[in-house]
Amino acid sequence: MTYVPIGHDATVYAPPAETPEPELYHPKTFIGKYIWSQDAKVIAIQYSITAIGVGLVALVLSWLMRLQLGFPNTFSFIDPSAYLQMVSMHGMIMVIYLLTALFLGGFGNYLIPLMVGARDMVFPYLNMLSYWIYLFAVLLLLASFFVPGGPTGAGWTMYPPQAILTGAPGAGWGIILMLVSLAFFIVGFTMGGLNYVVTVLQARTRGMTLMRMPLTVWAIFTATILALLAFPALFVSAIMMTLDLTLGTSFFMPGIVSQGKQLGYGGGSPVLFQHLFWFFGHPEVYIVALPAFGIVSDILSVNARKNIFGYRMMVWAIVGIGALSFVVWAHHMYVSGMNPYFGFFFATTTLIIAIPTALKVYNWVLTLWQGNIRLNVPMLFAIGFIFTFIHGGLTGIFLGNVAVDLALSDTMFVVAHFHMVMAIAPVLVVMGAIYHWYPKMTGRMLDDTLGKIHFWVTFLGSYAIYLPMHYLGFLGVPRRYYAMGDTYFVPDSAQSLNASITIAALVVGVFQLLFLYNLVWSYFKGKPSGDNPWEATTLEWQTADTPPKHGNFGPELPVVYRWAYDYSVPGAAKDFIPQNEPPDLSAAGAGVPRT
Amino acid sequence: MLAPGLVVWAKFVNVPDEAAEVEVVSQQWHWSYRFPGKDGVLGTVNSRFVDDTNPFGMNPDDPHGKDDVLVASQEVHLPIGKPVKMLLRSKDVLHNFAIAEMRVKMDMVPGMVPYMWFTPTRTGKFDVLCQELCGTGHFTMRGRLVVEDEGAFGTWLAGHPTYAQTSARVAGDAETGKALYAACGACHGAAGEGNAALHAPRLSGQGDWYVKQQLKYFKQGVRGAHKDDEFGRTMAPMAAILADDTAIDNVVAYIKSFPVAPASAAKEARSDRRAGDQYARACGICHGAKGQGIQAMNAPRLAGLDDWYLDTQLKNFKTRIRGTHPDDKYGSQMNLIAATLIDEKATRDLVAYISAMR
C-alpha cells in the first residue's frame, strides 16, 4: 500500500463549462465605478460603511442609556421619554441596520462571488439597487430623530397598542417613519438576498460542488434563505400597523380606553402582532448568528492550520439550526398572555436547538485541538467568540426553559443574555472578519498591536459589562426602566453595580474608536499584505490582484479540485493546498480520476 | 433539564380548584383590583362601560357585579397561605403584572384576560412592577402587595366599597358645604382664588375628585404630616374639622361651584420652547396638553395654579416630603418624575411654563 500524497476530497472532477461567461458591465467613469457601482465588492464596502456609520449612532445611544442607568437624574437631556427613544432606536439599528446589513449586505456581497469563483453577483444591477434602497431606509430612520415628537419609544419590538397610542414617545411621526423605513429595508434586502441565493446556486465555478464550499458561504446562504422567509412577516405587520395608525383599521387593536377616552378600535389582537413579529424576530437571531458561525469556522481552520472538524456535520448543523429557528418563535412570548399551554411545545423545540448548536461548538474546539495555532488578531477574536457564545448559549438554556423564564423574562438577565449571544458574539466575529479580510479588500494589513489592544479591551470589557447585568436580572431588576427608585427587593448596592457597568461600557465604546482609527490609518500606512497573508486555501486569496479587480479573477476563472480545508495535509509540500490547485496525478496510487 | 422544567410549568398552568379569584385592572400607569364579593363570582365587564364614574367598566345589568369589591388603589392585600388566581385585564395597552419575590409575572393584554396563580407564603410588603414597556410612565407604574393573616385581610377588604355602593353614592350638597367652607375661605379666598401670602393654593377649577382625595389625605395624615412640610402641616388640622365623608362631599360640592378664574397675578403667556417640550414629554401625558387635568389618569388640573405653589409641591415631591406615605396611592409616581428635574433652573423654567397655563 503506497501513501497517497493528496488532500481530502481532491479529485480532478471538474465538469466542463456549461454556459459561456456573460459579459460584465464595464463602468467608464469614477461615478460608475465607485458610486453607482454594480461591482459586488464596491457595493459590499458601501453597505459596510453605511452600516458601521449608523451603528456608531446606536453605540452613542447606548452610552447615553448607560449614563442614565449608572448615574440617574444627572443629565437633564435624558428624560424618561428620551430614554425610551434611545432604547428603541439602539435596538432596532443594531439588529437590523447594522448586523443584518453588515453580515449579508457587507460580507455576503464581498465574499460570495469571490469564494464560489464567480465574476460577480448574478444580477449586478439589482444588487446596486439593493444598496441604494437600504441607504434610503437608513436615512428615513435617522430622519425620525428630527420630526415632531421624535423617534418611536415603544421598544425595538414596537408592540401595539402602545406603539401607536399617545403615552409612548414618538407615537405619531416616529413610529410611521420606523415602519416605512423597515418596509424599504425589506424591499432592498429582498433584492440583495435573491442575488446571494441565485449566485450560490447558479454561478459557482467549475468543480465547486456544494459540499466543497467554505462554511462562510454555506452560512450566509442559509441565513439569506431564512431572511427571505422571515422578513415578509415583519413586512406585513409593519403595513398592518401603519394602517391601524393612519386609516383606523383594527388588526392589532381591541376595544381600548386610553387616558379616559374611548377609542374607535375593536376586535383586533395585540398578541397577533407579537406572533408575526417573533416569527420574523427569532429567525432574525440566526440571520445574524449563522454568518458568524460560518466565518468563525473558516478563521479557526485557517489559523489552527487544520481542517475544520466535521465539515459535513457543520453544514447540516447550519441547515438544521436554520430550519428549527422557524418553530421556536413563541419562546419570546412565554409571559405574553398567549395560551400558556404553548409553553410546553416551544420550550421543547427551543431546547432541541441546543443540540446542533452544541455540536458546532464541540467541532470548533476539536478544530483547535492539537492545531498549530497562530494566535493572530482574527484568531483572538474567533476564540473570543467561542467563549462569549458558549456563555450566551448557556443563559439561553435558562430562558428557553419556560418555568425558569417566568422569573427571568423582562429582567436585566434577558438583556445580558441576548447581548452576549447576539451582540457581543457576532460583533467579535465582525471584527475578526474585518481583521481577516481587510488585507484582501485594501492590500494592506491592519496594525497588529492596536488590534490586540482592541481585542483584549473589547473581550474583557464585555464581561465587565454583562456579568453584573446577569446578577441584576437574578435580583429581579426589570429592563427598560428609566430609574429604579425605591423598592423592597433591589438592594442599594445594585446602583453601584450599575455605575460600574456604565464605566465599563464607556471604556469599551471608546476603544472601538481605536479600531476605526486603525481602519483609516492602515489604509494609507499599513504594511502591504501580499495576495495571501494568512496562507489560506479558499479562492478569494488566490486572485490575480489584491484588492481584486472588477471581475474578481484574471482572464480564466479558477477551477476547483478540492474542499476548502486542506491544511497540514501529510506529505504535501506546503501546509496548505489552495482549492484551485490540481492534485498531483503523477504520485503513486492516486487512483483513477473521475471525469 | 427540560423535563423538570415542564413539570413545574404544568403546575403553573393548571390552577388549583381552591384558588380564590382576584382581578387586576391596569391602565397607563395605575393598578386597581376587584374582588368577587359575597357571591364569589366576578361580574362581567366591558371596556365600552368605562368612564370616570365607572372606571372598572362594570356591566350595570349584571347581578353578579353588584357585590364586587372595587379597590381603586395601587395597593392590594392578600391572605397568607391561600392560593390566588389573578385575572389580568388591561384597559389600554400591554402591561405586565410582576411580583419579583413571588417569581411570577404575566402580560396584561387589552381585549383578553390572561391569568396566573401563586400562593403567598410569607407576610410582608412586596413590590408590584409593570414589566412590559407601556409608555413614558412605565417605570412609575408600581403597586404594592401586602400579605397578611386572614383577619387583617378581611378588615382591609371590608373597608372598600362594592360596585353597588359606588354607583349609589349621592353627590354632596353644595348648600351645606357653603357653611363648612367658611373655615377654608379664610385662607383660600371666598371664591377659592388662593392666597399667596398664606401659601393657600387656588381651588377653583380643580377637579372635585382630586380635592376630595387630598382632603382625605390631609385628614388621615397621608399628606401634611411630614415634619418638613411647612405649609402642609398648617392644612392638616383644618381638614380634621370635616367630620366625615359626607362633610367632605358637601364642601367639595361647594368648591366645585366656583367659577374657573385666571390666576391671581396675570402673566403674559411664556413661550419657553425647552420647558414646553419638557412639559409635553413628561407632564402633559398625564396632566393633559393644556394642564387641564385628566381624572382617568389620576392627574389633577395644573392650569391656573400659581408658581409658588407649583414650586413648593415639585420640590416636596423631589425631596420626598410629599408622596412617600404608604397610603398615598399615586404620590410615588410624582417622586420619580420630579426627580428628573435635576436643578433649580430646570424646576424654575418648568414652573414658569405651567403657571402661565389657563
Q: Which residue has the higher pLDDT, A297 or B185?
A: A297
**Contact criterion met (CB < 8 Å) for B281 and A81:** yes
Cβ partners under 8 Å of residue A27, min gap 6: A33, A37, A38, A39, A550
Closest CA to A307 of A33, A39, A59, A575: A575
A403–B6 C-beta distance less than 8 A:
yes
pLDDT of residue B264: 46
Q: Which of A48, A138, A132 is nearest to A93 (CA)?
A: A138
CB contact under 8 A, B88 and A337: yes
Considering only A10-14, A364-368, A493-497, B270-274, which range has the smallest mean pLDDT? A10-14
- Give the single-character DSSP code of A56: H
| DSSP secondary structure of B76-109 | EEEETT--EEEEEEESSS-EEEEEGGGTEEEEE-
| Contact between chains at B28 and A167 (C-beta distance less than 8 A) | yes
Residues of A with Cβ-Cβ distance to B93 under 8 angstroms: 161-162, 165, 167-168, 256, 258
The answer to whether A248 touches B83, Cβ cutoff 8 Å, is no
* Chain A residues closer than 8 Å to B88 by CB: 337
On the question of pLDDT at A154 being above 80, the answer is: yes
Q: Which of B2, B106, B296 sits opposite A335 (nearest CB)?
A: B106
Q: What is the pLDDT of residue A1?
A: 41
Candidates B7, B105, B274, B349: best to mutate against A (most CBs of A within 10 A) is B105
Averaged pLDDT for residues B316-345: 87
Three state DSSP letters for A507-532 = HHHHHHHHHHHHHHHHHHHCCECCCC
pLDDT band at residue B269 using 50, 70 and 90 as cut-offs = low
CA atoms within a 13 Å half-sphere pointing along the CA-CB vector of A540? 27
Chain B CB contacts of A341 under 8 Å are 13
Chains A and B form CB pairs within 8 A to the count of 215
* Chain A residues within an 8 Å CB radius of B98: 410, 478
Identify which of B131, B139, B105, B95 has the alpha carbon closest to the alpha carbon of residue A335.
Answer: B105
Enumerate the residues of chain A whose CB falls inside 8 A of the CB of residue B299.
none
Output the pTM of the full model.
0.91
Q: Determine which of B58, B89, B115, B138 to mutate to test the interface with A (most A C-beta atoms within 10 Å).
A: B138
Percent of chain A with pLDDT over 70: 96
Instruction: Indicate if the pLDDT at residue B57 is higher than 80.
Output: yes
**Under 8 Å CB-to-CB from B351, ≥6 apart: which residues?**
B307, B310, B311, B314
Look at A410 and B132 and tell me if their CB atoms are within 8 Å.
yes
Report ipTM (2 d.p.).
0.89
pLDDT of residue B262: 60
- Over residues B303-318, the pLDDT tens digits come to 888 888 999 999 999 8
> Across all residues in chain A, what is the average pLDDT?
91
Domains annotated for chain B, with CATH where assigned, are: 12-167 (2.60.40.420), 174-355 (1.10.760.10)
User: Do the Cβ atoms of B9 and A483 come within 8 Å?
Assistant: no
For residue B340, give the chain A residue with the closest CA. A73
Quote the CA–CA distance of A87 and A412 in Å, as a whole number: 13
Distance separating the N- and C-terminal Cα atoms of chain A: 25
pLDDT score at A2: 46
Q: Residues A105, A47: contact at Cβ < 8 Å? A: yes
Q: Of A153, A155, A406, which has the smallest distance from its Cβ to B12's Cβ?
A: A406
How confident is the model at residue A415, as a pLDDT? 95
pLDDT per position as a tens digit, B215-226: 989 988 888 888
B101-121 confidence digits (pLDDT tens): 989 999 999 999 999 999 999
**Between B50, B98, B133, which is nearest A480 by CB?**
B133
The predicted pLDDT at position B37 comes to 87
pLDDT of residue A587: 55
Contact A292, A359 (CB under 8 A): no
In this prediction, residue B173 carries a pLDDT of 82
3-state secondary structure of B190: coil
Q: What is the pLDDT of residues A259-314, one digit of tens each?
A: 888 888 988 999 999 999 999 999 999 999 999 999 999 999 999 999 999 999 99
Q: Could you tell me which residue, B147 or A31, shows the higher pLDDT?
A: B147
Picking from B5, B134, B339, the nearest residue to A347 by CB comes out as: B5
Task: Enumerate the residues of chain A whose CB falls inside 8 A of the CB of residue B110.
Answer: 161, 254-256, 270
DSSP for residue B71: E
Residue B35: enclosing H or E segment and its boundaries?
Answer: strand B30-35
* pLDDT tens-place string over residues A56-94: 999 999 999 999 999 988 888 888 999 999 999 999 999
The reply to whether residue B112 touches residue A254, judged by beta carbons under 8 angstroms, is yes
Are B6 and A348 a contacting pair at CB < 8 A? yes
Percent of chain A whose pLDDT exceeds 90: 76
Residue A126: which pLDDT band, with cuts at 50, 70 and 90?
very high
Of how many residues is chain A composed? 595
Q: Across the interface, do B103 and A406 touch by the CB < 8 Å criterion?
A: yes
Residue of B nearest to A158 (CA): B133
Q: Tell me the chain B residues in contact with residue A347 when contact means C-beta distances shorter than 8 Å.
A: 2, 5-6, 9
pLDDT tens track for A336-367:
999 999 999 999 999 999 999 999 999 999 99
pLDDT tens for A548-584 read 988 888 888 899 988 899 998 888 888 899 998 888 7
Among B331, B358, B350, smallest CA distance to B279 is for: B350
Q: What is the DSSP letter of A166?
A: T
What is the pLDDT confidence band of residue A592, given thresholds at 50, 70 and 90? very low
Q: What pLDDT does A595 receive?
A: 42
Which residues of chain A make contact with B286, given a CB cutoff of 8 A?
259
Collect contacts of B222-230 with beta carbons under 8 A, ≥24 apart: B222/B325, B222/B327, B222/B328, B223/B322, B223/B325, B223/B328, B225/B325, B226/B321, B226/B322, B228/B319, B228/B321, B229/B316, B229/B321, B229/B322
Q: Is residue A136 classed exposed, middle or buried when 0-12, 13-18 and 19+ CB atoms within 10 A define those classes?
A: middle
Query: Which of A169, A337, A476 faces B107 most closely, judged by CB atoms?
Result: A337
pLDDT (tens digit, 9 = 90+) per residue, B287-307?
Answer: 988 888 988 888 999 988 888
Inter-chain CB proximity A335 and B105 less than 8 Å: yes
Given a cut of 90, whether residue B24 has pLDDT beyond it is: yes
How much is the pLDDT for A8? 61
Q: Count CB atoms within 10 A of the CB of residue A550.
A: 17
Residue linked to cell 420652547: B273
Structure confidence by residue, pLDDT tens digits, A429-482: 999 999 999 999 999 999 999 999 999 999 999 999 999 999 999 999 999 999
Best mutation target among A69, A74, A79, A175 (most B Cβ atoms within 10 Å) is: A79
